[in-house]
Structure formats: structure tokens, C-alpha cells
């Protein structure tokens, strides 16, 4: 699956599209780290929505369950790739973002854990899942997988 994700991200670079990462709490921190590394080290435009003013404005105006969805409406374009990270796979704002991304014709890759039938796990082109109900184990595994994907793309960048 890691190579599939690398290919998918590689394809957005070729199309001139961007990578958008989103999560809550520790997953938001992972999204920030990976977005910076992707942009700086691979040349792929990558963003996340972790600015407090954006979150609080959109949560206030649209509700917390819809703030990521609305951020996509304002900042995303068709054929961008969205990476959604949720340990439980049940966060309403992340699930609503997946629905919005489909509506906008974006690609989706998910990272989840906990129960194998969590709703987020069904939303992506590629769905990474960690068989654990321990937040730290799930989050650190997501982080390692995402940085492995980044490192693989760094190798690509060195070849071009």
C-alpha cells in the first residue's frame, strides 16, 4: 500500500495539483509535519488547515463538524489529493471532509485505527488501518507510514 500511495501522490505532482492533510489533535500535528516535509523535501505543494483563526472562524460559523469540509470548499480544487488522519476513524469533521472531497472530485487517502469497520476506512482510494485501540500506537504508526511515503518521494526528487 505504501507504494500505491507514493504513486498516487506522484501523480498529483505531475498534474500540478496539491496535497491537503487534515486531522484532529495529534493527527493534526502529524498533518502539519508531513505537509512541511512534503513541500520542502519533495517539491509537492502540501497544505494543512491548522491555523487557529481558520479553525475557530469556520467552527464558529459552520459548526465544528463542518469546519474541515468548509475549508476544503474554500481552498481545495478538483483532482487535489486529501489525506485524512483519524485514530478512531469516527471523527464527524473528518468524515464530512471525505464526503466533500468526493463531491469535489478529489482523491482521498485515509489513515485510521481502532475498529476494522470504522467509517473512515471505507472512504479512500487507499485506506491505511492500524489494528490497535491505543492512540499513541495508532498515531505513531500513521506518522511513520506518512514519513516513509515522504522519504520515498524524496528519493524520486533526487532522481529528477
CATH number, domain containing residue 143? 3.40.50.10490
User: Torsion angle, CA of 155/50/91/150, rounded to 10 degrees?
Assistant: 0
Segment 53-57 shows an average pLDDT of 98
Domain presence at residue 102: yes
Domain presence at residue 77: yes
pTM: predicted TM-score of the whole model, two decimal places? 0.96
Q: How many separate domains does the chain show?
A: 1
Look at residue 28 in the predicted model and tell me its pLDDT: 98
Domain presence at residue 160: no
Domain presence at residue 121: yes
Confidence band for 136, pLDDT divided at 50, 70 and 90: very high
Distance CA 138, CA 130 (A): 6
**How high does pLDDT run on average in the chain?**
96
Mind listing the pLDDT tens digit for each residue in 3-41? Answer: 999 999 999 999 999 999 999 999 999 999 999 999 999
Amino acid at each position: 500500500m505504501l507504494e500505491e500511495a507514493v504513486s498516487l501522490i506522484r501523480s498529483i505532482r505531475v498534474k500540478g495539483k496539491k496535497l491537503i492533510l487534515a486531522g484532529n489533535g495529534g493527527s493534526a500535528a502529524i498533518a502539519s509535519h508531513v505537509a512541511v516535509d512534503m513541500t520542502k523535501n519533495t517539491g509537492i505543494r502540501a497544505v494543512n488547515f491548522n491555523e487557529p483563526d481558520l479553525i475557530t472562524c469556520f467552527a464558529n460559523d459552520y459548526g465544528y463538524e463542518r469546519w474541515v469540509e468548509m475549508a476544503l470548499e474554500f481552498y481545495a480544487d478538483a483532482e487535489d489529493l486529501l489525506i485524512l488522519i483519524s485514530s478512531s476513524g469516527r471523527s464527524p469533521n473528518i468524515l464530512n471532509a471525505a464526503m466533500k472531497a468526493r463531491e469535489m472530485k478529489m482523491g482521498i487517502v485515509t489513515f485510521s485505527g481502532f475498529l476494522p469497520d470504522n467509517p473512515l476506512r471505507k472512504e479512500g482510494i487507499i485506506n491505511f488501518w492500524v489494528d490497535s485501540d491505543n492512540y499513541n500506537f495508532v498515531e505513531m504508526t500513521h506518522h511513520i507510514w506518512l514519513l516513509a511515503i515522504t522519504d520515498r518521494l524524496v528519493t524520486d526528487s533526487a532522481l529528477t
